[in-house]
Structure 1
């Protein structure tokens, strides 16, 4: 019966693989890859549950409870960093569960998946750090050639240099320094490990947040501003944000005949001739959006003010607080913008415009640093505890050595 069920699940999955792209082509927002991923996940979960039911056990309820807990927390409030931790806990528990199930069933599909996972993990263990360093140096060269040598564009280079220095120092310090001094200098790798986990959780929830599927029932689309070229021209990154809003505007117009208003949000910087929102409005008009469908917010200086001042304008235009709104920005900025919307008590999720791949590593590092600074007190406390623990270990080792 197990073989028959495997064949049936396989056939159902293949049918879905062919049907989903055709089904999504009829939709305004196609996004068929997202639904393919959901379909694969659903079929795999059903298959795994069937395998265990054959064994008359129900351990699948353990990872399922972690998944349900994550989904509950995520859909209750998507704009929370801790959701990344909850999802990664589900992944750890889920992988552990699949490993146990593999040992108990020796299922061919699980063996193949375990083999692929094992090869990937082995490669990461052997060359992962060196591959990361090579990628960071390559990316730094590409970014500097295309974007210039500003500090914001040097983050991958600085990270690569820092990791290189750390590896060299760590290699020689273990051979030269006494044990107690090595423990003292162990503060740095432990702090690096802590921030690696924080970054991984941030990256996880940032990626998950990209899959927002807002309904075509919005009253407003906020477009977050950024700097202008020569103080008056919309740059490509900002243009992508506006075009993403226009795409949703047109999609909702076609789907419901009830288009939202586009709210351009951005004030005038010290080096700009006009407010960002004015330049953004002109850009949208040139793309075919009627002027009466565009609102402007001209006073904000940062993303938090974007959200606060836009909220005031929407409440005034709508005549209350019962409106539906989303915001558009570049995909790397999406989650942090959502945090600012939450801080402004604005119930709005975002949709992200695509960004060139070479630009993403620097951009995500910049976003991560900004988010760390938003919670700097928490991170200072954790780093302080790590340092205190390692200092105590080093002192204990020092006194043990001197009193032998």
Structure 2
């Protein structure tokens, strides 16, 4: 049973973290470590068995990551070309393509190190593999917990529904991505209004350099044109970033009611990072996600992960430096 002790410990830490505040990245790490140690414990248990089934499972477990890695690389590259075709060649749209190519580079480097008689190449390949494994582990933690967070039910009774803005088409019109957020916000509003306690809805977004009006005003107009009551809308029109969306909207809510509760609405790929920022900005509420086109999701999720890494850059740089040192000295 000692084999399972680390898994149980991290899963208990995960459960306690979710109960304390589900908007923490440490919850994602605890979940990832718990699942990883549980998998190792199960494999060790299988390894002690002499049955044909156990041997078959072990072989499959060894082969699956290798084959899965190549399949993933191919899917990411295909998605990258689709993003370029549909969304243009902006740097953010190249992320899935670059990640797919990066995976192939790492695999190629490992294969070259096994064939070449070069100690230096072995060190380089080992170092790259360790850093890539660390980042891959964090990404899996991020994806797994973000999925779980998106399926946790936010508080039902709230005082405010906050819809985060995004860029406008032609500087004036609400794009499908933002419309999805507004429709989810309207559904949350209507569900509570049906219970006799309609919340206020805050449209949050300032005016960008290429926009003719603040995003919050275009969002409010979109809702009003579809029958949403104008007197239940508050416009927050100063923010330029997600952090400012939350900071300025939080100030509006706290000024009106220091004990407020809210739900923040954004797209599903953005929900977990928005939740991390909501906690950082002291916003008293959880985040709900709206649907996003499937082809858009991989690049968008990678972009969100990079932003989370950057927010904890010193910790991640320290871990990477340690892995590099261990690899070089090994």
- With the length of structure 1 as denominator, give the TM-score of the two structures: 0.74
1:74 matched residue in structure 2: 18
Residue 380 (structure 1) shift = 1.3
Instruction: Report the more deviating stretch, 138-147 or 329-338.
Output: 138-147
Q: Counterparts of 1:315 and 1:85 in 2: how far apart (Å)? A: 32
Residue 347 in structure 1 maps to residue 284 in structure 2: yes
Aligned with 1:383 (options 312, 320, 324)? 320
Q: Counterparts of 1:265 and 1:376 in 2: how far apart (Å)? A: 28
Q: Is the 8 A contact 1:307 1:346 kept in 2?
A: yes
**Cα deviations by residue, 1:141-186 (Å, 9 ceiling, x for unpaired):** 2222221211111111111222223333332344335224422442
Cα RMSD (Å) of the superposition?
2.9
Q: Is the 8 A contact 2:47 2:58 kept in 1?
A: no
2:129 matched residue in structure 1: 189
Q: Counterparts of 2:239 and 2:75 in 1: how far apart (Å)? A: 37
In the alignment of these two chains, the number of paired residues is: 329
Residue 129 in structure 1 maps to residue 69 in structure 2: yes
Residue 223 in structure 1 maps to residue 167 in structure 2: no
Q: Is the 8 A contact 2:263 2:288 kept in 1?
A: yes
Residue 209 in structure 1 maps to residue 149 in structure 2: yes
Q: Is the 8 A contact 1:222 1:328 kept in 2?
A: yes
Aligned with 1:305 (options 244, 253, 257)? 244
Larger radius of gyration: 1
Unaligned residue ranges in structure 2 (runs of 5+): none
Residue 363 in structure 1 maps to residue 303 in structure 2: no
1:198 matched residue in structure 2: 138
Residue 388 (structure 1) shift = 2.1
Aligned with 1:84 (options 24, 28, 32)? 28
Residue 252 in structure 1 maps to residue 192 in structure 2: yes
Higher relative contact order (CA 8 A, sep 6+): 2
The verdict on how the C-alpha distance between 1:63 and 1:391 changes in structure 2, with shifts beyond 3 A counting, is: closer
1:372 matched residue in structure 2: 309
2:270 matched residue in structure 1: 333
Residue 176 in structure 1 maps to residue 116 in structure 2: yes
Unaligned residue ranges in structure 1 (runs of 5+): 1-56, 394-404
Residue 215 (structure 1) shift = 3.2
Q: Secondary structure at the match of 1:289?
A: coil
Instruction: Report the more deviating stretch, 94-103 or 132-141.
Output: 94-103
Q: Counterparts of 2:315 and 2:181 in 1: how far apart (Å)? A: 32
1:38 matched residue in structure 2: none
2:224 matched residue in structure 1: 285
Residue 118 (structure 1) shift = 5.8
